[in-house]
Structure 1
């Protein structure tokens, strides 16, 4: 491993290449993941009896990829009657709700498998069980005080679960269920392979290749911003290798194409900033069924048509998000008139779209360095509000909501989430009480030191490291992501020239030890020309626009030197 990568991985806790770039052979075994035995028996019985299995997805990228993994994986393992469904954000709300159960009755399911949700869906699961359906919950969100009445639950974050990695995304949990099911089906000498009559082989001889699902696992894991611990890096790294080799599914290949990315150099950042937003846009503005259909398509032409539609919806989402963000910034200016801000922000606009409030909360959270809650009407003109929250490192946002719920029982109708993101529902009339309770609990739980934004740098690059070889090394030396951050460097540079591009971005020509360097700061134009000498926090990347051996610095922070 080159010295620069050795230094970067060591700073992130990886002391050798096996830790830094884990392979699939190092993947944690399923043995200690609680609930797998019951889940496997449930699925085995359903497959053997040819029951109708319906995989119920969710309307974000993790839920969509988990749904596609569930459908594809169960079919690989011999299930012949597998369908899928996904709630509509506006009509059903989050997860397996009683309303969704009522709509699912037309499919006549016998076993429901929830992916990326279910741990908080008490009423929906009870409604499904009342109809005589079995329910398997696969989820990674934190449970409440009581578990739902499902037939089996697989969730690494259940109390007492011994699985070493609590960071699995919803798609990772479903993948682990399939790994355990394959082992159960293939290692039992008394269990006939469902395809044995066709292929003339026994179950022990036939082990379906579940690695074909790893492209989906990688996309869902990166998109959900779960920490890329060693186990998740093994999953994401394997999925990226498949995508770079052109072995991904037709849907993901089409999304890479419409996003203008080169599959041969695809990175986790490309997933996070190009693929995931296009999938998420369907669930935010329209129906995630479109995104799941794209992921399940094996026809390149059909997949390309669906990906093009997703690209169009994503462009609409960007426009809606821009308008909502501008509204939120004006509201922020009014709140901060006296020069102070509360420990947590609570924003609401009756014209906002409930599918985009999470993006607004995320954008404002980065600006004000404190938790942000953004609310919109669940239905246009309705009295029920849908909220989304984003937090800062050091404050567990679901714990904050639990504290509010404990102090004001019944105020929040429903909530769930994890450390950095959460969702909730409450009545519009309850918003002032919620805001007051939120401020009280945030002030109690939040360490004031966390309100100071902090950038962690990997130090300075040496002059000889500003070249295309090191830029590619940094791009390909990951995967980088949440909890295992993309390398960030700092240094002082002379500004030789500058110009504004795209109205909001700042293009810089820099001089560093006599060498000319190009840099760009996205969203960096604030109307004030940069000084002659600056200190930058930046990432070194290949300049794909100019191509060849061109490199550029992508500045994430700039201040006078």
Structure 2
């Protein structure tokens, strides 16, 4: 789908520091930045005590440590869950906890969250205190089962709560009613980090470190893991999240990150000294997620916990292999999904506003990525389903701007009681379960609800551009400034520019990537460019001399030499 290029309007940037280039000042101002937003110092992080129940949760954990009770961290099977689990486990060990372990439910056997079945597994492990990370806010039955067995439960989560919440001993979630924490977009790993910060202060107040004869730990050493989980979970990069991510990236660039993260960057062929947020999102995160999608996320957690570089490299190599397997599965599923939509896509009027897809042999570990790919192609909200056993199917949903997916599912659930077995999630992503026989009825109800809630103009994809660069601005200095001005990410997008260029050279590299040499329209500047996964029915074409290009400024590194390169977001013949 060719997206409409829309340029951001010029805004007042006079409040921003003059040491920034005019381009960067405008980029920052258009994203609503204040002077403080330009200074990503750790001292500017929101205070932990503004999180509801965080002090209560810290006291419960401190009491359990003092009694040497068995503490079990119950995580989730994605990158946010793996990083949250790792942060809690490492922090607790650093603070002197001697009886702490973790449990990641196998998604294929137990599904998501603290279920009654997982509570039974926890009981067998002898757990006395359960700490959920990146899950738990919807685990009403699981918490009740744990409480009935005499366990204490501390929930840390960031997902939106339903109409009722579990009766846990403490709930730390910025999105719960009555929580004054300003960053509602924080990832699960961020919530876990904040709880560990509050626990460190609680233990300090009790004189714990002196009594144990240990140093109070520096939790900043965990920020590389926090940054990875935050970026990989694609949460909005508000100022607080940007501070966390920026601090983590700086640790990596300085060579002070966990061996597991270093090893994952190595297998992804990323230069640790030049890492940016998107490397976590597109290189490390998917490899970590591959464990939870196809196998056991314990492999991902163990990679993050590992202190030995050689062992970390072996585990990273295994994750890399799982990721290659995941990509192969996903490609096949995507081709099948596109084939099933092919006839509809010939007539835009027939294409559903809300696309629901289901095939019996699809792998439930990959349907989220499939939904995302189809959403990108058709610019419509998509739910992809796969078999879950016992007559149920599980769906993974991805939305577009202007449609809150979890609220949509809540509306469908209210109109069709009993059709959805369970659901939960965010504005842009959600999950749900149905009985297999309900798929067709659900697909109709879903499409009807999307048509009701979504404005028609939002079905047209847009690329929001920061404007046109003149030939003199196509230079390495600006590329470097923009690179270091991040971290860029969800709702704090990396600058995109647009313009018309003359095509001097074009050829396919790899299987579907278009390598270009472009010249500015006035003929003053030549620059290399690359467009990934182009339509091979259009490109290459020697008869196309000019194209409208939307692009990001990038620096290409090859054999130690750096050169300017445009990363093409969209190219359309003129």
TM-score by structure 1 length? 0.95
- Equivalent residue for 1:247, pick from 241, 256, 259: 256
* Offset of residue 2 of structure 1: 3.0
Distance in 1, matches of 2:56 and 2:105, equals 26
- Map 1:493-504; keep pairs closer than 5 Å: 493-504=501-512
Task: Name whichever of 467-476 and 483-492 sits farther off.
Answer: 467-476
Distance in 1, matches of 2:547 and 2:344, equals 32
1:327 aligns with 2:345: no
Aligned to 1:536: 549
Contact 2:96 2:212 in 1 (8 A): no
* Offset of residue 197 of structure 1: 4.5
Q: Secondary structure at the match of 1:475?
A: helix
* Offset of residue 194 of structure 1: 4.5
Distance in 1, matches of 2:156 and 2:127, equals 17
- Equivalent residue for 2:470, pick from 453, 462, 466: 462
Distance in 2, matches of 1:456 and 1:289, equals 39
- Equivalent residue for 2:83, pick from 55, 59, 65: 65
Aligned to 1:196: 211
* Offset of residue 364 of structure 1: 0.7
Greater RCO, CA 8 A, separation 6+: 2
1:151 aligns with 2:166: no
Per-residue CA distance 1:164-220 (angstroms, 9 max, x = gap): 11011000001111111112221x2xx232453435xxxxxx532110110111000
1:415 aligns with 2:423: yes
1:519 aligns with 2:526: no
* Offset of residue 262 of structure 1: 0.7
Per-residue CA distance 1:67-110 (angstroms, 9 max, x = gap): 00010111222211110110111111111112222222221001
Per-residue CA distance 1:320-344 (angstroms, 9 max, x = gap): 1111111111111133354321220
Distance in 1, matches of 2:284 and 2:195, equals 25
- Equivalent residue for 1:6, pick from 25, 29, 33: 25
Contact 2:530 2:568 in 1 (8 A): yes
Contact 1:357 1:387 in 2 (8 A): yes
Task: Name whichever of 420-429 and 328-337 sits farther off.
Answer: 328-337
- Map 1:89-168; keep pairs closer than 5 Å: 89-168=107-186
1:401 aligns with 2:409: yes
Contact 1:538 1:554 in 2 (8 A): yes
- Equivalent residue for 2:57, pick from 24, 39, 57: 39
Name the count of aligned residue pairs: 549
Aligned to 2:6: none
RMSD: 1.4
Distance in 1, matches of 2:125 and 2:466, equals 54
Q: Secondary structure at the match of 1:101?
A: helix
1:377 aligns with 2:387: yes
Distance in 1, matches of 2:276 and 2:179, equals 32
Distance in 2, matches of 1:300 and 1:493, equals 46
Contact 1:21 1:478 in 2 (8 A): no
- Equivalent residue for 1:234, pick from 233, 239, 243: 243
- Map 1:477-488; keep pairs closer than 5 Å: 477-488=485-496
- Equivalent residue for 1:442, pick from 440, 450, 454: 450
Distance in 2, matches of 1:522 and 1:27, equals 37
* Offset of residue 464 of structure 1: 2.3
Contact 2:209 2:216 in 1 (8 A): no
Distance in 2, matches of 1:396 and 1:285, equals 28
Distance in 1, matches of 2:516 and 2:475, equals 17
Structure 1: which 5+ residue stretches go unaligned?
Answer: 200-205
Q: Secondary structure at the match of 2:311?
A: helix
C-alpha distance 260-404 of structure 1, shift in aligned 2 (>3 A): same
* Offset of residue 469 of structure 1: 2.5
Q: Secondary structure at the match of 1:158?
A: coil
